[in-house]
């Protein structure tokens, strides 16, 4: 599954977002944030966010696993009337990088993925759009597993339409 294991990835990179991964993001969202979830899967991230008073304006996935999620490719869709995108995207770099460009040119975009990305050369062309990095740590992606994943994660806020230096938020005690 990760770079330090030989487990097969779950197709199509479907790892539902546990609530523990959402907790570090909550202090960085505005009151009753109106969001679009463009890689919604089974809607678990939507459920966690709406539980905390945020509002899902639209939910998409290329393979939706719930009736209230539309079958839409996020790289082909535009949307208005939201505060931001919030999603746990596929970590495949070509898909991830395309999503950063397509989404963050429309609205501020929160993406949950591996922390190591920010330390690689491939991240350099996206750092001008990076506004905030919120550390999450290791996430237990597979509920039945006794173990967390081997990669640390962060919420990254991208916004191609704003100018400000990136802010790093470490893990709370």
- pLDDT averaged over 10-residue windows placed end to end, the chain, 173 residues: 49 73 96 97 97 98 95 94 96 95 97 94 95 89 59 94 89 66
DSSP 76: G
Q: Superfamily assignment of 21-169 in CATH?
A: Vaccinia Virus protein VP39 (3.40.50.150)
Please tell me the distance from the alpha carbon of residue 110 to that of residue 130, in angstroms, as a whole number.
10
- Decide: residue 62, CB within 10 A, 0-12 exposed, 13-18 middle, 19+ buried: middle
pLDDT of residue 1: 39
Task: Give me 74's structure tokens.
Answer: 């996020």
- Distant-in-sequence, close-in-space partners of 115: CB < 8 Å, separation ≥ 6: 135, 136, 151, 152, 153, 154
Closest by Cα among 44, 37, 47, 42 to 67: 42
CB-CB neighbours of 38 under 10 Å: 25
pLDDT of residue 142: 59
């Amino acid at each position: 599954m990760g770079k330090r294991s030989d487990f097969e990835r779950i197709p199509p990179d479907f790892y539902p977002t546990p609530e523990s991964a959402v907790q570090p993001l909550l202090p960085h969202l505005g009151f009753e944030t109106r969001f679009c979830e463009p890689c919604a899967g089974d809607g678990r991230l939507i459920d966690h966010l709406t539980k905390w008073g945020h509002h899902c304006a639209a939910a998409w996935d290329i393979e939706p696993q719930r009736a209230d999620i539309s079958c839409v490719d996020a790289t082909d869709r535009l949307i208005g009337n939201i505060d931001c995108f919030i999603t746990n995207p596929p970590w495949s770099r070509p898909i991830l990088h395309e999503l950063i460009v397509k989404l963050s040119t429309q609205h501020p975009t929160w993406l949950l993925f591996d922390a190591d990305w920010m330390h690689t050369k491939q991240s350099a062309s996206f750092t001008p759009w990076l506004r905030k990095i919120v550390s999450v740590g290791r996430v237990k992606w597979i509920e039945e597993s006794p173990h967390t994943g081997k990669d640390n994660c962060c919420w990254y806020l991208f916004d191609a339409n704003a100018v400000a230096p990136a802010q790093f938020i470490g893990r709370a005690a």
